[in-house]
Amino acid sequence: MIISVASGKGGTGKTLVATSLALSLEKSDVQLLDCDVEEPNAYLLLRPTITQSQPVSIPIPKVDETKCTYCGKCSEVCVYHAIAVLKKRVLIFPEICHGCGACSYLCPEEAISEEGREIGVVEKGHSDGIEFVQGKLTIGEAMAPPVIRKVKEYVKPDRTVLIDVSPGTSCPVVEAIKGSDFCLLVTEPTPFGFSDLVLAVEVVRKLEIPCGVIVNRAGVGDSKVEDYCLKESIPILLKIPLDIQIAKLYSRGIPLVQGMPQWREAFLRISNDIELLVSIERTRRVAQ
């Protein structure tokens, strides 16, 4: 089962939830994939031993100007404006090229070949029996989805796969979440937490992925998050109170369920609840 752990808003405790859930389950059965490739930080809590590192590249066009007729076709097909054709010159802008291959495919003179451009790295290792994979986008690069896709190549669907997703609702979030059986949305009961939760729910519903909410720092703010979940029939699977001890553990890089083992049972219960919700959803889809 693949469970993505996302949050519309950054800093809501998504990684705290993902790591605590991983550590509460049967560890040899768990994979934790950190797909927050612009700022992966699950390793700070899990402290994995990294055993493999693999560069991630995307194919960038390279023009053979001895074959090029400067017809402009490549520039016309590039929706990202990453290639421009001048009178006697073709300019390529690697930073905005998505490596989609359309220009080389459609060049009538077969003047475009491709060369790899490294944009990040995928690291694999283990932490206390948990299989750990993380993607790291090189600083200054903008193309997170290819790195996320590379991380997700390590998914073993027969295991419990936890995907730590970047905050927000943009392309990297969609790339990380899609294909999940369930999405856990971590939020906080503040105006920003509420409005970003609404956006995140829209995304997971578009992707037709069942979701549930974890309210972190419960007790601050107002009841808008809870009212919204009730109205939208979204289960609140856990509330974690604003607690100085929890904050101290996090700032020292200690996972919640290690510093306060009494929380382990709550995370186990979430896992059982998710299994139940996923099986209800599957049954509902079969019946449709």
Cα separation values, 245 from 60, 238, 254, 256, 273, Å: 49, 18, 11, 9, 26
Q: Cα–Cα distances in Å, from 87 out to 60, 106, 109, 263? A: 22, 19, 17, 66
Beta bridge partners of 184: 5, 212
**Least distance to ligand SF4 from the beta carbon of 102, Å?**
4
What is the nearest approach in angstroms of ligand SF4 to the Cβ of residue 36? 24
**Distance in Å, CB of 160 to ligand SF4, minimum:** 36
The β-bridge partners of 270 are: none
Q: How far is the CB of 169 from ligand SF4 (least distance, A)?
A: 23
Residue 62: φ, ψ to 5°: -130, 125
Strand partners, 52: 124
Q: CB nearer to ligand SF4: give 170 or 245.
A: 170
Q: Which is nearer to ligand SF4, 102 or 260 (CB)?
A: 102
Q: Of the two residues 87 and 231, which places its CB atom closer to ligand SF4 in the complex?
A: 87
Q: At its nearest, how many Å lie between ligand SF4 and the CB of residue 83?
A: 4
Nearer to ligand SF4, 63 or 122 (CB): 63
Distance from CA of residue 117 to its chain's centroid? 22
CA atoms within 13 A on the CB side of 63: 26
DSSP letters for 245-287 = HHHHHHHTT--HHHHSGGGHHHHHHHHHHHHHHHHHHHHHHHH
Question: Least Å distance between CB 217 and ligand SF4?
Answer: 41
- Between 85 and 204, name the residue whose CB sits nearer to ligand SF4: 85
Q: Is the torsion defined by CA of 258, 261, 266, 270 positive or negative?
A: positive
Residue placing its CB nearer to ligand SF4 in the complex, 48 or 146: 146
Closest distance to ligand SF4 from the beta carbon of 174 (Å): 18
Rounded to whole angstroms, how far apart are CA atoms 200 and 275? Answer: 21
Nearer to ligand SF4, 81 or 206 (CB): 81
Phi, then psi, of 272 in degrees rounded to 5: -65, -40
Binding site for ligand SF4 (CB under 6 A): 61, 63, 68-74, 77-78, 80, 82-83, 85, 90, 97-103, 107, 109, 111-112
